[in-house]
């Protein structure tokens, strides 16, 4: 009998055919894989990030797709398609989904909401950064200059959220605690009828109205069909001149050229960005030079152990799968989230 949940790269699989087989598309040296030791002892785990490794493995019952493993998933699709459950280690699915997967009946879950606390904090930190003009404060300190100036309170300001999922809810809770008026935009606003953290929920057709009302606009929508460029020139023209845009969803949801023009022309106060069209952001990009941009290199949720948190969520979901219980964070593959 093999040791409990030992990560295996090359074994004789025929002796394990009666137990669940889990394929994990990931660097086998990743430290978070140690959490797989919590899976049932009889689980057959095949871990790797090369195509050859899985040739001699038994067909999977479940597959966990790690960061950047979309190509391997697609290459292994003839075998993966026999699985009964797929899980994405990340929340975003734009590099994971492909037509055959979308059309399949295999249930799929992801890590949405796992990183929400830190991102909710970053959203409020971004609002405070511009409200208190921390850039000016730090510049004056570095220059040794005594430079009093007026600051803005968040209390009473309107915090609009485009995409009210896990990130949006965490940000809403914190914005409400700051005394802000919170508005949320989501596909099914009726699901937020009794949400104590928001003042009103709107459907997608109210995007422009929400934008016009917002002093701080959090964009937390996924990169999915229908969301690319949903915040564009028209939307920037409707924003308040002192509005701040905060993007913690995906870069392509905001039309980048339109955002740059709005920032350069000072039509809005600023933008706090953690996600971009192209990552890493190319050298010489306008966002690096604009003094009304707070730029985070897609690390606003990189707290100590953040990958362990995502793996722990998968482990808990695997126990549900093994016990025939409902899975958490099931996604609509056609919608892309």
The 3-state DSSP class for residue 145 equals coil
Both 138 and 266 in a single domain? Answer: yes
> Is residue 131 one of the residues assigned to a domain?
yes
Both 131 and 255 in a single domain? Answer: yes
For residue 8, what pLDDT is reported?
38
**What pLDDT tens digit does each residue of the chain (337 aa) get?**
333 344 433 333 334 345 899 999 999 999 999 999 999 999 999 999 999 989 999 999 999 999 999 999 999 999 999 999 999 999 889 899 999 999 999 999 999 888 899 999 999 999 999 999 999 999 999 999 999 999 999 999 999 999 999 999 999 999 999 999 999 999 999 999 999 999 999 999 999 999 999 999 999 998 888 899 999 999 999 999 999 999 999 999 999 999 999 999 999 999 999 999 999 999 999 999 999 999 999 999 999 989 999 999 999 999 999 999 999 999 999 999 8
> Is residue 247 one of the residues assigned to a domain?
yes
Both 312 and 289 in a single domain? Answer: no
For residue 256, what pLDDT is reported?
98
Rounded Cα–Cα distance for residues 312 and 38 (Å)? 9
Both 18 and 84 in a single domain? Answer: yes
Contact yes or no for 114/313 (Cβ under 8 A): yes
Examine the residue annotation and report whether 174 is marked as an active-site residue of this protein: no
Both 133 and 94 in a single domain? Answer: no
Catalytic residue (choose from 100, 233, 279, 325): 279
Both 80 and 195 in a single domain? Answer: no
Residues paired with 22 in a beta bridge = 45, 62
Our count of domains for the chain comes to 2
Catalytic residue (choose from 169, 250, 256, 309): 250
Both 93 and 148 in a single domain? Answer: no
Range of the domain at 78: 13-113+305-322
For residue 17, what pLDDT is reported?
40
Both 272 and 151 in a single domain? Answer: yes
Both 138 and 265 in a single domain? Answer: yes
> Is residue 126 one of the residues assigned to a domain?
yes
Both 79 and 94 in a single domain? Answer: yes
The domain spanning residue 222 has which CATH number?
3.40.50.720
> Is residue 6 one of the residues assigned to a domain?
no
For residue 225, what pLDDT is reported?
85
For residue 12, what pLDDT is reported?
33
How many C-beta neighbours within 10 Å does residue 226 have?
11
Examine the residue annotation and report whether 100 is marked as an active-site residue of this protein: no
Both 49 and 103 in a single domain? Answer: yes
Given phi > 0 = left and psi -120 to 50 = alpha, else beta, which region is 262?
A: alpha
> Is residue 336 one of the residues assigned to a domain?
no
Sheet holding 108-109, edge to edge: 44-48, 21-25, 62-65, 85-88, 108-109
Catalytic residue (choose from 79, 187, 298, 320): 298
> Is residue 57 one of the residues assigned to a domain?
yes
Both 88 and 135 in a single domain? Answer: no
72 CB burial (10 A radius; 0-12, 13-18, 19+): buried
Contact yes or no for 98/76 (Cβ under 8 A): no
Cβ contacts of 151 within 8 Å, gap of 6 or more: 131, 132, 133
> Is residue 50 one of the residues assigned to a domain?
yes
> Is residue 3 one of the residues assigned to a domain?
no
The 3-state DSSP class for residue 201 equals strand
Examine the residue annotation and report whether 298 is marked as an active-site residue of this protein: yes
Rounded Cα–Cα distance for residues 114 and 314 (Å)? 10
């Amino acid at each position: 009998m093999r040791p409990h949940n030992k990560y295996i790269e090359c074994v004789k699989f025929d002796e394990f055919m009666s137990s669940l087989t889990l394929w994990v598309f990931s660097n086998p040296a990743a430290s978070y894989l140690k959490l797989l030791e919590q899976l049932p002892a009889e689980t057959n785990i095949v871990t790797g990030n090369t195509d050859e490794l899985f040739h001699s493995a038994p067909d999977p019952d479940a597959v966990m797709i790690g960061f950047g493993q979309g190509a391997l998933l697609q290459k292994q699709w003839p075998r993966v398609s026999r699985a009964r459950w797929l899980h994405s280690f990340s929340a975003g699915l734009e590099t994971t989904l492909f037509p055959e997967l979308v059309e399949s009946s295999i249930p799929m879950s992801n890590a949405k909401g796992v990183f929400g606390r830190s991102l909710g904090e970053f959203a409020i930190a971004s609002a405070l950064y511009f409200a208190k003009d921390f850039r000016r404060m730090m510049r004056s300190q570095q220059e040794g200059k005594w430079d009093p100036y007026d600051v803005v309170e968040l209390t009473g300001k309107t915090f609009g959220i485009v995409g009210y999922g896990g990130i949006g809810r965490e940000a809403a809770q914190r914005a409400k605690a700051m005394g802000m008026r919170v508005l949320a935009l989501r596909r099914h606003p009726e699901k937020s009828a009794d949400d104590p953290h928001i003042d009103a929920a709107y459907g997608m057709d109210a995007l422009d109205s929400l934008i016009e009302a917002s002093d701080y606009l959090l964009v937390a929508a996924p990169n999915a069909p229908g969301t690319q460029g949903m915040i564009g020139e028209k939307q920037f023209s409707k924003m308040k001149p002192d509005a701040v845009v905060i993007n913690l969803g995906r870069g392509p949801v905001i039309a980048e050229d339109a955002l740059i023009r709005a920032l350069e022309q000072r039509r809005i106060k600023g933008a706090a960005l953690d996600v971009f069209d192209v990552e890493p952001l190319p050298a010489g990009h306008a966002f690096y030079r604009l003094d009304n941009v707070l730029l985070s290199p897609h690390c606003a949720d990189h707290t100590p152990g953040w990958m362990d948190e995502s793996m722990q969520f998968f482990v808990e979901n695997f126990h549900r799968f093994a016990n025939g219980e409902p899975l958490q964070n099931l996604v609509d593959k056609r919608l892309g989230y």
